[in-house]
A and B are shown apart, each in its own frame.
Chain A
């Protein structure tokens, strides 16, 4: 009886399986292992959020993999040189010429009114939780253009980062239809993405939390790019972690693997080289030294101790060991890919002997427990990082290296929510929280800024999270007047020569003895896996990552 039932079921399944293959729709499946918590880039706290929204909402300009700025929604990039930017007293006027005939996914035209609406939306006092705050937007005094396509953005102060400000352009009618105070939950809601208005090549139809987001081709996108999207559906499939995602790739469950990096390169063994897309990334791994806690602990010796630690940390050994030789040690936090990079040279080798000499000269003597001490204070440092295995392995190695010269390193690994949580999002005493400064030395990664102003809140005195609204990113709490001056010069100018000179100053300070706040470890790599049936994928070191040119991908 069972045998008969089983065979009936098997035949039925086969028949149905055969019959269910209807006209083949062209699909590309991308895999990720972190589900986004928003598709609105203005609220995005993580790169994975921006990755998804890149296919749905477009910005005025785009950045190519070789870091050139190219027009996306506009006809050309406005600069001082080509007259797109005109100085106007203390301020400036930027002319954005939108392409004509562009439409949103609901058929309405893309005009300067959308730009004005986006600006008003950002500046609305009821808007809470903008990831980038209102920096730059608050300098805008008005936008002309109305329902036309030639928009003039009036700035009351010169703002250097104007090019990447409108990222993305939001549809005016849609954002005005929802109360600004409700925006975080009701605008582009994750459980009803279909209700949103988009202009990208692929727009979402539905999303199953932690599992899948389905996007279909947007016919209106041809009004922006000149051709229709080349595939019918782009599906985002979500895994629980990178290891299972790699298993899935080998099992052929999807086409493109994202959000991998240098630490995953050893796990790629067995995957064809032609399917691996590996780029130098703008991201770099670093050790951040908390000036406040170090000065509290060691007083005037803090600077010497940091110098000694920097000399004793053998970064080449780190690159060889936990990173398996897949990364290059760097001395500069600015990527060589950027236009204001200055080659500062310098050696990347460690010099523990010099470190010991420095400490001995400062009066530190070896105690009986094998650690240096001075006036009954042991040289003990609190190292913090996230629970990523490669970071824990790195710090364990660093602890061994420091122990060799007598410095005690206590390593704690805390979950990233605790480490990166905002001032009010975690308890004041949360171990290893960067904003609250509960660390001596922290290891994490920064994205080297493409826009030079990106480092402003990280290295300026105004960015100290202990002050003001507690949203600054200067977690090392440094205050170097020369650095502040350089960044203010950058902020207040749109002349590339001035900006470049100021950034050269910043980099000089970074590689000098004045740098007691950061030790760059190595530049990281972005890794993608792409099945041969997908064409057009290039990868991109900026936060837009792989999907930056998603409209150009096609399948064979």
Chain B
């Protein structure tokens, strides 16, 4: 630990004349941040992820093309013999990443706009799944007994239903292509595993002394769960939530490929851009599938690095 000198305008007892090591106490979050900072890979990952988020939020404002309108079609790419119908290569006619086939839209605009919904689904579903899972897992782990048995059976059932199958059936029932429906389905199918994790955490934490102390003082059960135990369980929950964002982004690409994802007409997502692009790989159109795929890979990579860093930083027992 680096030596820290007390502030010059300390109002306490007079500062010692010599350079003595004076300790400033850091809480666990600040400690974690310190450990995180030393993890080069984690910093890199976080920068990558936050860049993607920034692109998603601000990107659409600075791009010149309107994603809701289709450009006037041309037959051949400007100055070449390539059929515009399968997409024009990068740097042709001002399109930095080239154009997509079919609609001949600017690929950069598509990918940047796609970031919005892909990340919204990923982060939104992860958040909701965590909140739901934490509540159920906390209640289940704390109370035990019948409550635990019933809740865990429900968790077992939801974990047994194959995700892709259920997504497809939900899409049939609630309508196609709406990204909000997909977000909700992911959250509904994602909370069970988080509930399991939280429950096992609670099973160990509820035997801690501070819980007995709180009960002795007369704190209500619910308060104990949410204000006493849960904060102590936050670390693994944060890690799992972060990593599940990546999982949901890839899953969104999956269901777009089999045709049950977000409707691509007005809502580009990385997943549906990628699946639209698959057919034309045959004719050598490498840029159309490459860039959304790259966006997915970089985001997932960034999240994974960040998640690993968080895991090491937040776990007091880690000894990498």
Contacts and interface: CB of A to CB of B under 8 A. Distances in A.
A397 B70 contact: yes
A318 B85 CA distance: 11
Interface string A306-347: 000000000001101111110000000000000000000000
Interface string B253-295: 0000001000111100000000010111011100000000000
A324 B265 contact: no
B265 A320 contact: no
Interface stretch (B3-11, B72-80, B112-120, B125-133): B72-80
A389 B102 CA distance: 8
Nearest to A325: B75
Interface in B66-88: 69-70, 72-75, 83-86
A400 B105 CA distance: 13
B283 A266 contact: yes
A396 B104 contact: no
A-side binding surface: helix, strand, loop or mixed?
helix
Given A390-B102, A392-B265, A324 B75 contact: yes
Contacts of A390: 102
Contacts of A325: 75, 83, 85
A320 B103 CA distance: 11
A523 B126 CA distance: 48
Given A317-B73, A387-B259, A413-B263, A322 B280 contact: no
Interface string A404-434: 0000000101110000000000000001000
Contacts of A399: 70
Contacts of B102: 322, 389-390, 393
B279 A400 contact: no
A246 interface: yes
A403 interface: yes
Interface of B: 69-70, 72-75, 83-86, 101-104, 175-177, 259, 263-266, 276, 278-280, 282-284
Contacts of A400: 69-70
A267 B85 CA distance: 10
A555 interface: no
Given A250-B282, A397-B73, A413-B263, 13 more contacts: A269-B86, A269-B283, A270-B283, A321-B70, A321-B84, A321-B103, A325-B75, A390-B102, A396-B265, A397-B103, A400-B69, A413-B265, A431-B175
A393 B283 contact: no
19 contacts: A266-B85, A266-B280, A267-B86, A267-B280, A267-B282, A270-B283, A317-B72, A320-B74, A320-B75, A322-B73, A324-B75, A389-B279, A396-B103, A397-B103, A403-B69, A411-B265, A413-B176, A413-B265, A415-B176
A323 B278 CA distance: 18
Contact of A269 (B73, B266, B284): B284
A320 B73 contact: yes
A393 B282 contact: no
Nearest to A269: B283
Contact of A321 (B85, B266, B282, B284): B85
Contacts of B72: 317, 321
Nearest to B176: A414
Nearest to B281: A243
A69 interface: no
Contacts of A247: 282
Contacts of A387: 259
Nearest to B69: A400
Interface of A: 242-243, 246-247, 250, 266-267, 269-270, 317-318, 320-325, 387, 389-390, 392-393, 395-397, 399-400, 403, 411, 413-415, 431
Contacts of B177: 413
A324 B70 contact: no
Contacts of A250: 282
B258 to A, nearest CB: 10
B171 to A, nearest CB: 10
A221 to B, nearest CB: 38
Contacts of A392: 264-265
Contacts of B279: 242-243, 267, 389
Query: Top 10 A-B pairs ranked by shortest CB distance?
Result: A321-B73, A324-B85, A393-B102, A243-B279, A269-B283, A397-B70, A400-B69, A400-B70, A396-B70, A393-B103
Given A266-B283, A397-B103, A323 B85 contact: yes
A218 B279 CA distance: 38
Contact of A393 (B69, B70, B176): B70
Contacts of B278: 243
A3 to B, nearest CB: 37
A32 B73 CA distance: 31
Contacts of B284: 269-270
A131 to B, nearest CB: 25
Nearest to A264: B279
B117 to A, nearest CB: 17
A409 to B, nearest CB: 11
A387 B73 CA distance: 21
A347 B177 CA distance: 38
Contacts of A243: 278-279, 282
Nearest to B282: A267
B101 to A, nearest CB: 8
A267 B102 CA distance: 12
A266 B72 CA distance: 19
Contacts of A322: 73, 85, 102-103
A386 B95 CA distance: 30
A397 B176 CA distance: 21
Nearest to A414: B176
A30 B202 CA distance: 61
A317 B104 CA distance: 12
Nearest to B276: A389
Counting chain A CB atoms within 10 Å of each CB, the highest count among B73, B259, B263, B284 belongs to: B73
A325 B102 CA distance: 12
A153 B215 CA distance: 95
A334 B276 CA distance: 33
Nearest to B104: A321
A266 B103 CA distance: 14
A270 B86 CA distance: 14
A266 B85 CA distance: 8
A487 B84 CA distance: 43
B319 to A, nearest CB: 37
A325 B83 CA distance: 9
A317 B72 CA distance: 7
